[in-house]
Chains A and B, each alone.
Chain A
Amino acid sequence: MTEFDLNTDSVRALNQHLHDSPSGSLSVVNPGGRHCIASGIDASVAVSIDGHVGYYCAGMNKKAQVTITGNAGPGVAENIMSGSVRIKGSASQYAGASGQGGTLIIEGDASARCGISMKGVDIVVTGSVGHMSAFMGQKGRLVICGDAGDFLGDSLYEALIYVRGSVGELGADCVEKEMTADHVQSLKVLLASVGVDASAKDFRRYGSARKLYNFNIDHADDY
C-alpha cells in the first residue's frame, strides 16, 4: 500500500498523486488538520486517513472511497459527486455541502449547515446535526440518527430528511410528512448499505411544504 506521511510529504504531492495515477489503496498518516487532503479525486481508489483533517477534505470526490479515522474540519466532502466518504469521528460545519451524488457517512456528530444545498448526495449521520442543516436541499437524503438543531430544512426543495431523535424549530417551509412503506424500505436499504445499525421504522420524515416555490403574497414574511 502506498503511504503518504504529511509530516514529510506535502498535501500537494499527495493530491497530485491521487489525480495522476491512483490505484488500489493508499494511506495517509499525520494529517495534522491540514486543508484539502484527498480533494478532487476522480478514480476508484481507497484512501484511508489516520487522524484529524482540516477544511475541505475529500472535496469534489468522484468514485473514490475515502475513510477518515478522526474528525473533519469545515466543508468535508463538499460537492461530492460519487463514491463515499466516511468520517469515524465528528464533522464541522457544512459537511457534504452541495453534494451531487455518492454517500457521506459521519459516525459522530455534524455541526451547523450539514448538507446545505445538497443536490443528490446521501448523508447519514450517526449522531446529531447542528442548525440550518439541509438548508435549500434540492435532492438526496439526509439521515440523522440523533437530534437535529434549529431551522432544519429551511427553504427546502426536494431533498428528503429522516430524523430519529428530536428536532428543534423547523426551518421555513419544512414540514413533517408521512413515512410511507416505500420510504421505510428505501431508508432500510440505505442504512444497511452504510452499515448503520438502526431501524428505519424509528425515523420520521421531513420535506418541503412547497409553499415557497412560487411567490405568494400571503407568505411574503416567509421569503
Chain B
Amino acid sequence: MCGIVGIYLKNEDLNPELGGLLSAMLIEMSDRGPDSAGVALYRDPVPDSSGKLTLHVAGSYDWDALQTEMTAQLKADVKIEIHASHAVVIASTDVTSVQNWLKTEYPDLNIMSAGSAIEIYKEKGLPSEFVRQFKLHELNGTHALGHTRMATESAVTTEHSHPFSTGMDLCLVHNGSLSNHNRLRQQLRNEGVDIQTDNDSEVAAGYLMWRLREGDSLEEALDRALKDLDGFYTFAIGTKNGFAVLRDPVACKPAVMAETDEWVAMSSEFRAIAQLPGAANATIWEPSPATVYTWGH
C-alpha cells in the first residue's frame, strides 16, 4: 500500500499556497505510507537558457564548494538553495551538460530531478516529519505530486522513495507492485537507461524515460505501458505543464479525482482531497481502468 496525491492549480492566486495544500494532503496519506515521503513541485521556472536540478546527498555536504567549482568549470552563473538533505541548483547553461558534468565529476551526488521547473524532494520517515524538515508548507508552485510509501518490493531508503525522475521536468509516483520488473530492468539497462536501485517503481519510471526518448508522446508511452508493464498500479506522472493519471486494467489500486473552478486534484483516497478548500462541492469521480487522464495548461 502507498498513498498518492496530486494537485494542479487552475487559479494562479493559489500558487503561494501550493506547498500548504500539498502538505495537508500528504500528511492525510500517512496511514497508507509511513515509511517515506516525497514530492515533485513545479515552481519558479528558469529561462530556456538555464537549467534547474535537485541534488541529494546523505549527511552534511559543502554546497558552497560545489557552487564555486561549478561556476568555474561550467563558466556559468550558479545558484544553490538548500532544502534539508537536498539542494536546488540553478545554472545559466544547458541543463543536460550540467547533468552529465555532475555525473562524471560528482558521482556521489544523487540527481533527483532535472529540467526548468521541477524540484523533487524525498526522504525516509513520516510525512509530517518530511513536511517539517523541508518546510514544504512554505513552498509555492503551480502543481505538484506527492507520495507516501509503504515498502513492499524493496528497501526503505531515500533512493528507493518516490517520485522518480523520468526525464526533463517529468516524474512518476506509483501505488502498487509490478511483477515483471526484473526482466524489464535488464531490458531497459540494455537500452542504456540508467536504473539505480532494485525498486519496481523505478523500472516504470525508466520505462517511460526510454519510450519518451524513443519519440513517444506521454500518451503513447502510457498506452504502451499498459501492454508492457505487468502488475498492479495507479501511476501519477508529473509534467512541466500538469499531470497525468493511469490505472492498470484490473484497477485494484484506488484512485479518486476531483475538480473545482480553483483546482484539479487526485489521490488514493478522498480524505486527502477533503483537505482542500471547496472539496465538499467539488466534482468527484473515479478514474476508469486502463484510461489515460491528463491535465495541463
Q: Tell me if A92 and B254 are in contact (CB < 8 A).
A: yes
Candidates B251, B271, B286, B289; contact of A33 at CB < 8 Å: B271
Instruction: Contacts A51-B280, A92-B256 given; indicate if A32 touches B274 (C-beta within 8 A).
Output: yes
Which residues 248-268 of B have a CB within 8 angstroms of A? 251-252, 254, 256
Interface pair B280/A33, CB less than 8 Å apart: no
Within 8 A of B (CB), among A20-71: 32-35, 51-52, 54-55, 71
Chain A contacts of B274 at CB under 8 A?
32-33, 52
Task: Map CB proximity to B onto A78-96 as digits: 1 under 8 Å, 0 otherwise.
Answer: 0000000000011011000
Chain B residues, CB < 8 A from A51: 280
Q: A92-B256, A93-B254 are in contact. Are A54 and B289 (CB under 8 A)?
A: no
Rounded to whole Å, the gap between the CB of B43 and the closest CB of chain A is 28
Q: How many residues of B contact A (CB 8 A)?
A: 16
Assess whether B289 is in contact with A73, with CB atoms less than 8 Å apart.
Answer: no
Residues of chain A within 8 A of B285, CB atoms compared: 90
Residue A187 interfacial (CB < 8 Å): no
Query: With an 8 A cutoff between CB atoms, is B94 at the interface?
Result: no
The one of A54, A111, A131 in contact with B269, judged by C-beta atoms closer than 8 angstroms, is: A54
Complex interface: chain B residues within 8 A of A34 (CB): 271
Residue tally, chain A, CB below 8 Å to B:
19
Contact partners of A52 in chain B: CB under 8 A: 270, 274, 280, 284
Given contacts A51-B280, A92-B286, contact A32 B271 (CB under 8 A): yes
- Asked if residues A112 and B289 are in contact (CB atoms below 8 Å), the reply is yes
Once bound together, how far apart are the Cα atoms of A74 and B269, in whole Å? 9
CB–CB A74/B271 < 8 A: no
Nearest B residue to A72 via CB reads B270
A contact residues around B254 at 8 Å (CB): 73-74, 92-93
Q: Are A90 and B286 in contact (CB under 8 A)?
A: yes
B273 within 8 A of A: yes
A148 shortest CB reach to chain B, Å: 14
Contact of B284 among A32, A54, A71, A74 (CB under 8 A): A71
